[in-house]
Amino acid sequence: MARHHRYRVTVEHLAPAKEGDALHAPLQFEATNHDEILAIADRLRTRLDYGDDEAAQLAIGLKLFGEVMLKHREDALFAPLRESFRAFIGGLKQLPEREG
């Protein structure tokens, strides 16, 4: 049986788009991933010039999405994305670390 890392993900609504709108209650869920996604987020922060928060958003979002897609690889819903997603991830892996 494959071993997976386990995570608890919390998304907390800090400010509404319009003044006076209510804040949504925090959303919390558990996720598993075959990779250590926090280390991947740290690595991506050193390779992208997007700022630490955006690099982390990209890394965590991709890894959460990718794991669902992997678990449901036979689902036709993901068919249009498979090759492009694989190519995109391959490109990210090839990025060199930024200088400085």
Confirm whether 73 is domain-assigned. yes
At 1 the pLDDT is 61
User: Considering the domain boundaries, does residue 100 fall inside one?
Assistant: no
In the prediction, which pLDDT does 58 show? 97
Residue 99 lies in a domain: no
Range of the domain at 71: 5-94
Within a domain: residue 27? yes
- In the chain, % helix, strand, coil (3-state, to 5) comes to 45, 15, 40
- Residue 25 belongs to a domain with what CATH number? 3.10.20.850
The residue whose two tokens read 């995570």 is 7
- Work out how many domains the chain is built from and give that number: 1
pTM of the predicted protein model? 0.87
3-state SS string for the chain: CCCCEEEEEEECCCCCCCCCCCCCCCEEEEEEECCCHHHHHHHHHCCCCCCHHHHHHHHHHHHHHHHHHHHCCCCHHHCCCHHHHHHHHHHHHHCCCCCC
Check whether 44 has a pLDDT greater than 80.
Answer: yes
- Domain membership of residue 75 (yes or no) is yes
pLDDT average, residue stretch 63-78: 97
